[in-house]
Chain A
């Protein structure tokens, strides 16, 4: 059988024009255009480019919903077995368009999609988990390598061959970890890695840690006596019965509860639902995780102005970094609106 291939490219690679033609609306042409010729050649008769969808990078970036819909319709009509997009190298808007259409087509048409970019292309961060992105150099000078890399991954996907690790197959890590039996135990591998590290030699981790952003510290509170301080926790402290069904781990939500009438956390009114630590002490006295009792005393003594009436809480175990950041942003917005001066956040 001959695979039906659709290729997505921008106005530049279609020979329509450069930046002056970046608002070019989606257009469908039969067969290959530009770099597609080489893709088809690499399929050696096993695949044919049935159509090329061309869209200006500016148009895709500025009218994304419209462009996505139009391109998807064109691609759908061609009944493809696979979509290739790009390569986009380090062109940011082209990378965004390639990643976006590849991710959309993959999701909507349930077919494999492959694009290609330089690892620092902003399209990588946005779409590397939703499509295969072959690694390329930063400019079109790398075309001769980029096309075979893209085509090779595409062929593997079409033939249902097992996909190896990103660094060996030449695509950008999709955040997927596969289980397999290793001839050496984890303990042996860890010690070997440590010895290599101690020797100052290069080693490769088996579990890459996410990279977190850092921000400049906020200015300090000027006057505690008039300050409103909010209490926040990721220690899973919730009103008894967990009314909002916050998950015990891998939380996807946070709760906001009125504590304005509450002097003290007791096992009668609050509890811990956190699935990542021994809740024995927290359930005898939730103040060991969320220190409301002493905060009320400090408030009564006039050390602080007042405690913000709303307390925010979630479970911080196995919780996705993206979710934690989202909770923080939403809570931050609310505290800002409420004119809160500072927050104490407790974590277990």
Chain B
């Protein structure tokens, strides 16, 4: 889905998910590794504030990913 949106719309699509090898396999170009399968964009174990801080960091990293020129599939680590 990520790859086809990117191809058809011609826009960068950043995918946040936990299993990086799957994103590499399906052709995602800008990859941000998520926290965990059932909560990729948060960490409830850290309490409401900690959870939100994690989410903010992930999103800022995603914004960085979409503004970064890449020539191949790239993983944006912390």
Contacts and interface: CB of A to CB of B under 8 A. Distances in A.
| A and B: interacting chains | yes
Contacts of A293: 52, 55
Given A214-B27, A215-B7, A217-B30, A290 B41 contact: yes
Contact of B5 (A213, A224, A232): A232
Interface in B1-55: 1-18, 23, 25-27, 29-30, 34-35, 37-44, 51-52, 55
B2 A328 contact: yes
Nearest to B18: A348
A14 interface: no
B10 A218 contact: yes
A345 B55 contact: no
Contacts of B38: 277-282, 288-289, 348
Contacts of B11: 218, 221, 335-336, 340-343
Interface string A227-242: 0010010110000000
Interface string A192-228: 0000000000000000010011111111111010000
Q: How large is the interface on B (under 10, 10 to 19, 20 to 34, 35 or more residues)?
A: 35 or more
Contact of B55 (A294, A314, A333, A341): A294
Contacts of A278: 38
B9 A221 contact: no
Contact of B69 (A219, A224, A234): A219
Interface in A299-348: 303-304, 314, 316, 324-329, 331-333, 335-336, 340-348
B77 interface: no
A336 B42 contact: no
A335 B5 contact: yes
B66 A342 contact: yes
Nearest to A348: B37
A117 to B, nearest CB: 27
A343 B66 CA distance: 8
A217 to B, nearest CB: 4
A221 B5 contact: no
A295 interface: yes
Contacts of A40: none
B8 A218 contact: no
A288 B31 CA distance: 17
Contacts of A235: 40
Contacts of B2: 328, 345
B40 to A, nearest CB: 5
Contact of A215 (B6, B44, B59, B67): B6
